[in-house]
Structure formats: structure tokens, C-alpha cells
């Protein structure tokens, strides 16, 4: 039993207790979701000292393209220089801190600060300040560029950045997540994924980790998504997602703990062969006409084209902020300790008939409308529940020490039953490693 009085008068304190006291093998402390100072440190360390997803290359289609974004709470600009090389710079004038770029996207060789006119190249260097004579002889342009995200790298179009000079290479960081990302990308015939189809920007009043907790959660669908499953049965048997409710722990569907905080749920074992993902997709507007057209025009290739018009059937979580769900590239944007924006970037793919991409749009409207809102309602209710100071712990012990659940595959990946909370245990291990980083 928790000693209530001692808890109230002497709650676990991150500073005096150390982070390790708050992340135990089977549980994490509520303060990780509720305390401003924990959030402030996360924004520096978790969103700074490891690779963080920034943008997709298709959002920067030509030399000198830019797109604004965030690294934790830091406003940044992701750019291509005139040769096409990727950069990320802080959107913060070296002079008096105003953002220098206020557009979401565009093409620009340089950015002029609207406040006092300092001008910077899209690679960060200061071009000049108005009337430099006012700074005397000590004005050194070389020291007054926009701050840079020191390492920026792309894996097959997915751009990541980190401030940590000693972080492993991006490919090593992705590690065992790479083959899953490859599967997802290679659903496009030439691996061409395009993020230019709009995004659902869904805000909830809860901590950012609630979204990450949920990304690899195979336990919740048959409860949190009851409304969607009930709706899907309106027109008779619907297979999609209903398998989460049928003794999921005994089925072929697994969760893979991929290391570095990454995990994936593979739903594909519930489907049998080409055309099956399409056949079980909840019905989209225009589905019947589209299927006729594809089968008539591309008889040899129709199952593949139909399957890529529906979801990828994996949920790939890449710590800390990238969730690949269905055909969407979902990005977690922390706003404050108890407010988060999830950006569901819809994707198109190259090398397929236009009609396939239209159907992908209709597919990608389904879950943000009828699935995700119920999850986010539950995230908000978690945040409300966390106001109870006397009950301190969030459990993540499902599957821990259960005989026969976890096995090691040939790549050293831990595989377990889909409802195992191993995804949380493994990412909090990575979280702890990052939070214990010190520059002092």
C-alpha cells in the first residue's frame, strides 16, 4: 500500500530522487506526464539529444525549398540549399530572437528578419545587417548566423535532425525499424512517397507521451474503438481491426520491440494474400466504381493496386515523435506538458494511376474521423485521472515475466503477444537514457 500522507507531503521529486526512481521496470511515475519541469527537460534532451523526425523530402521538392517545423519547442526551418543539400536552422534571429520565417512552406534563398532586417542564407549564415557601421569594428558576421541543427540526415525521404554530435548515424539509430520502414515505403512502386495531400492536425489536452504509449498498444482497440467496430458492422461482417478483440494474445499478430525506443505492431498476419487488405478495408466513397475500373484496366496488377489504396496494416513507432499508421506519417508535436498536436500527414505515392491516390485520400479520412477522436478522448481522460496525486504510478507491466510471451528472433528483436506493453517499457528505457544525459 502507498503511504498516502508521506506521498502528499513528500512526493517523489525528479531532482532529488533522480530520473531512475521514476522509471521502474513495470511502472512509470505520474510526474512524467504532469510536471512542467519534466516537460521542459524533455524538450531539451529527448527532443535534442536523439534523432527527431523533422519533415519529408517531398515537402522540399526543389533547390531552395523550405518548410517550417519544430524540434521540441524550438521553431526551425528545414531547407534545401541551391545544390539540394538538406539543412535545418533555428527560426530565431541572431539579433533579438524574432522568427525570420513566418511562412509554412515556400522557396527562398535567404530569409530577412522582418523586425530589423538582418538577412540570413537558407544555410544559416548571416549575409548582413542594415547599417553595420553602428556595430563598430567588432561585428563578426561569422559568429552571428542562425543557430543550426547540427546534424541533419535523410533516410529514404524521412528527414531527421539532432543536436547531439555523438549520436549514432541515422541508420544505426533506426536500426531494426529500418526494414519495417522499407516495407512501408516500398508499397510505392519506386519508393516514391509524397506528402502534399493535406494533414489532419488533431490537438488533445494531454501529455505527448500518451500518443506514443498508444502507438504500439495492441490492447486498447477492442475497447477504445468500440464505436468504430460497431459502426463497421452496420453493413455485415467487417474484418478490419475486429481481430484485436478475438483473443489477440493467441493469434499470429505480434508486437516487435525494435530497440532505441522503436516498436511495431504487424497486423498483416490477419490478412491472407494479395487483395485481402483491400477486401477488408472499411468502405470508402467511390470504392465500387474504383474497383471495377482498376480490375478492368489492370487485370494483372489489380490486387496490388487495390491493396496500396488501403492501409499498410503496420503501426510503426519511431521514438520519440514519428508514428507510421495506415498510410499516414503521423508526427507528435508537444505543445505543453498537457497539450499536444498530432499531425496526420496524408500521403500519396508515385508510379500508380491517379485514381489510386484519390482512393488513398478517402481511406485516410476514415480513422481520423471515427477512430482517433475516441483515443484522444481517452488520452484527455488519462490526463484528468493523473491529477490524483495519491496514486502515483502508471502501469506498463502487461506481458512482463509472462511465460512463453517473449521470444528473440534471428535479428535480436524481442517478439511478443500484441497486447504486451513491452513497447512502453522499451521506450522508457531510451527515455531514461536521454534524460540522464548531462552537459554539465
CB 284 → another protein: shortest distance, Å? 8
Please report how the helices 302-309 and 287-297 are oriented relative to each other, as an axis angle in degrees rounded to 10.
150
User: How far apart are CB 332 and another protein at their closest, in Å?
Assistant: 13
Q: Among residues 62 and 354, whose Cβ is nearest to another protein?
A: 354
Could you tell me the CA-to-CA distances from 382 to 36, 39, 150, 228 in Å, in that order? Answer: 17, 17, 36, 21
Q: Which of 313, 267, 316, 266 is nearest to 427 (CA)?
A: 316
CB of residue 197 vs another protein: minimum separation in angstroms? 5
Helix (H, G, I), strand (E, B) or coil at 360: helix
Give min distance, CB of 346 to another protein, in A.
Answer: 4
Measured from the CB atom, the residue of 378 and 406 that comes closer to another protein is 378
- Measured CA to CA in angstroms, residue 56 lies from 101, 182, 295, 322 at distances of 19, 15, 32, 11
Rounded distance between C-alpha atoms, residue 313 and residue 291, angstroms: 20
**φ, ψ of residue 201 in degrees (nearest 5):** -105, 105
Q: Closer CB to another protein, residue 20 or residue 377?
A: 377
Q: Which is nearer to another protein, 204 or 219 (CB)?
A: 204
Nearer to another protein, 70 or 262 (CB): 70
Q: Please give the grid coordinates belonging to residue 403.
A: 511465460
Least Å from the CB of residue 235 to another protein: 6
Q: Which is nearer to another protein, 167 or 335 (CB)?
A: 335
DSSP, res 128: E
**At closest approach, how far in Å is the CB of 361 from another protein?**
5
Beta bridge partners of 314: 266
Q: Which residues bind another protein (CB under 8 A)?
A: 196-205, 224, 226-228, 230-231, 234-235, 283-289, 291-292, 341, 346, 348, 354, 357-358, 361-362, 364-365, 368-370, 373-374, 376-378, 381
CB 341 within 8 A of CB 203: yes
Amino acid at each position: 500500500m502507498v503511504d498516502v500522507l508521506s506521498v502528499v507531503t513528500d512526493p517523489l521529486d525528479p531532482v532529488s530522487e533522480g530520473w531512475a526512481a521514476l522509471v521502474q521496470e513495470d511502472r512509470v511515475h505520474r510526474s512524467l506526464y504532469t510536471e512542467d519541469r519534466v516537460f521542459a527537460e524533455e524538450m531539451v534532451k529527448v527532443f535534442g539529444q536523439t534523432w527527431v523526425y523533422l519533415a519529408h523530402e517531398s515537402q522540399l521538392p526543389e533547390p531552395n525549398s523550405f518548410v517550417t517545423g519544430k524540434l521540441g519547442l524550438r521553431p526551425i526551418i528545414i531547407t534545401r540549399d541551391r545544390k539540394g543539400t538538406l539543412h535545418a536552422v533555428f527560426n530565431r534571429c541572431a539579433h533579438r530572437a524574432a522568427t525570420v520565417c513566418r511562412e509554412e512552406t515556400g522557396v527562398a534563398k535567404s530569409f530577412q528578419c522582418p523586425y530589423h532586417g538582418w538577412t540570413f542564407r537558407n544555410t544559416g549564415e548571416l549575409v548582413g545587417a542594415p547599417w553595420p557601421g553602428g556595430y563598430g569594428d567588432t561585428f563578426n558576421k561569422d559568429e552571428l548566423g542562425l543557430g543550426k541543427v547540427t546534424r541533419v540526415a535523410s533516410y529514404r525521404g524521412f528527414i531527421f535532425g539532432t543536436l547531439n554530435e555523438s549520436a549514432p548515424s541515422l541508420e544505426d539509430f533506426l536500426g531494426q525499424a529500418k526494414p519495417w520502414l522499407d516495407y512501408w515505403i516500398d508499397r510505392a512502386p519506386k519508393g516514391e512517397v509524397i506528402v502534399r495531400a493535406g494533414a489532419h492536425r488533431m490537438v488533445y489536452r494531454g501529455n505527448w507521451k500518451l500518443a506514443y504509449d498508444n502507438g504500439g498498444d495492441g490492447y486498447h482497440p477492442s475497447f477504445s474503438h468500440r464505436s468504430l467496430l460497431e459502426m463497421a458492422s452496420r453493413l455485415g461482417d467487417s474484418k478490419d481491426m475486429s481481430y484485436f478483440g478475438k483473443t489477440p494474445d493467441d493469434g499470429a499478430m505480434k508486437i516487435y520491440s525494435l530497440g532505441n525506443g522503436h516498436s511495431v505492431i504487424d497486423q498483416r498476419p490477419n490478412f491472407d494474400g494479395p487483395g485481402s487488405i483491400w477486401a477488408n478495408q472499411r468502405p470508402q466513397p467511390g470504392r465500387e466504381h474504383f474497383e471495377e475500373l482498376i480490375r478492368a484496366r489492370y487485370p494483372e496488377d489489380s490486387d496490388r493496386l487495390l491493396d496500396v489504396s488501403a492501409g499498410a496494416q503496420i503501426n510503426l513507432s519511431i521514438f520519440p515523435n514519428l508514428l507510421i499508421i495506415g498510410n499516414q506519417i503521423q508526427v507528435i508535436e508537444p505543445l505543453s506538458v498537457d497539450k499536444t498536436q498530432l499531425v496526420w500527414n496524408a500521403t500519396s505515392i508515385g508510379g500508380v494511376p491517379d485514381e489510386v491516390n484519390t482512393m488513398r485520400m478517402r481511406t485516410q479520412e476514415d480513422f481520423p474521423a471515427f477512430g482517433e477522436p475516441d483515443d484522444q478522448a481517452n488520452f484527455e481522460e488519462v490526463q484528468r485521472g493523473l491529477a490524483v496525486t495519491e496514486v502515483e504510478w502508471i502501469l506498463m507491466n502487461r506481458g512482463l515475466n509472462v511465460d512463453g510471451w517473449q521470444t528473440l528472433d534471428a535479428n535480436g528483436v524481442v517478439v511478443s503477444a500484441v497486447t504486451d506493453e513491452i513497447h512502453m517499457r522499451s521506450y522508457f528505457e531510451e527515455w531514461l537514457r536521454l534524460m540522464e544525459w548531462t552537459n554539465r
